[in-house]
Amino acid sequence: MGRGDGRGQARAVNVVAEVSPRVRLVLKADIRPGWDGQLTAKVERVERLLEG
């Protein structure tokens, strides 16, 4: 899986699309000085949850 390149989000959308006729994806960004790599960390957490 990609890290911060959108592939994790695409995988999540594809998983939902298998069981739903419609998928809505909303991205929220909270940008703070000194907090680097948080989007990548979030993608990694979601990927681990999807692997379940």
Residue range 10-20: average pLDDT? Answer: 88
Q: What is the DSSP string of 10-41?
A: HHHHHHHHTT-S-----------TT-TTHHHH
> pTM of the full predicted structure?
0.40
Model pLDDT, residue 5: 59
Model pLDDT, residue 39: 82
Q: pLDDT tens-digit profile of 22-44?
A: 988 787 777 789 988 888 999 99
**1, 49 contact by CB (below 8 A):** no
Between 27 and 45, whose confidence is greater? 45
Residue range 1-22: average pLDDT? Answer: 76
Report whether pLDDT(45) > 90.
Answer: yes
